[in-house]
Amino acid sequence: MIIVKNASHLAPQISQWKREGKTIGLVPTMGFFHAGHLALMQEAGKQCNKTVVSIFVNPRQFGPGEDLEKYPRSFDRDAQLAKEAGVDLLFAPTPEEMYPRGYQTSISVQNLSKGLCGQSRPGHFDGVATVVAKLFNLVQPDTAVFGEKDFQQLALLRQMNADLNFGVDIIGHPIVREKDGLAMSSRNQYLDRDERKTAVCLYKALQHGIKKIAESQRIPVVKLIEELQDIVNEGQGCRADYIAVVDPATLESQEVAQKGALVALAVFINDKVRLIDNAIL
């Protein structure tokens, strides 16, 4: 596996693969790999001849007071795991490489970044769209694979890809879960033992929503959200940042919850860790 830390070294390798007619699959990540990341890498490997994984804890997508400094990092372990997963190239630029002095451009996907996580994390999705656009330009992938846990991110990146004519085939990979249902996330490692147990309330709430719709077909969203809120509140120290039922394509709020709608939630555990999850009803 080739490890590249700067863009000027990346370009010749990408050009060579393009000349050889190889297709390139990109998995953008912030590192600290878990089974969810490895599944994305395997998917990229299935789709394309060459797999590129980027590791970059992108400062522009963290707000003031968020976890940029303490975000878990483990480069050597990640490199080993990526190698074992059959990744061809690991791109791990520094913040100075991505945002050199004088950098001033930002990409904003206007409507899709307003609701859900966008409300409590202003600027977050501009940071995501900007860094992914840069990665698309640097890696020139045929395909890019993202996890569906970050459903809003995926919707917004699809929109950016279409709006800015990147022409990348964007693939969403289903959420990979722990045995008890907790969605895999690098942030799960902030949880202590008790918090880890209570964090399953996100999954429990989603399962409740799915069951309700299977039984009743259509339920007023206000009522469903109340029930999901109760389940979240049963978790010791759990506080919902939001619980929403939206159209999965437009992310617009729905009044009636029914089959095919997306239920998404973000929950603070002990006001310390913020986790997200979602499911199609």
Q: Using the rule CB under 6 A, is 116 a contact of ligand PAF?
A: no
| Nearest to ligand PAF of 30, 82 (CB atom) | 30
DSSP conformation letters of 147-166: ETTSHHHHHHHHHHHHHTT-
Span from 11-19, 26-34, 212-220, 248-256 in contact with ligand PAF (CB under 6 A): 26-34
Q: How far is CA 124 from CA 18, 141, 156, 233, in A?
A: 33, 23, 12, 27
Whole-angstrom distance, CA of residue 214 vs CA of residue 280: 12
Which of 112, 132, 221, 257 binds ligand PAF (CB under 6 A)? It is 132
Span from 9-17, 63-71, 128-136, 175-183 in contact with ligand PAF (CB under 6 A): 128-136
Minimum CB separation from ligand PAF for residue 254, in Å? 25
Tell me if 131 sits within 8 A of 56, measured CB to CB: yes
Active site annotation includes 124 = no
Tell me if 220 sits within 8 A of 257, measured CB to CB: yes
Tell me if 153 sits within 8 A of 93, measured CB to CB: no
DSSP state of 61: G
Q: Using the rule CB under 6 A, is 58 a contact of ligand PAF?
A: yes
| Nearest to ligand PAF of 13, 152 (CB atom) | 152
Whole-angstrom distance, CA of residue 175 vs CA of residue 132: 20
Span from 23-31, 164-172, 173-181, 227-235 in contact with ligand PAF (CB under 6 A): 23-31
Minimum CB separation from ligand PAF for residue 7, in Å? 16
Interface with ligand PAF by CB under 6 A: which residues?
28-30, 58, 61, 128, 131-132, 150, 153
Active-site residue numbers?
A: 37
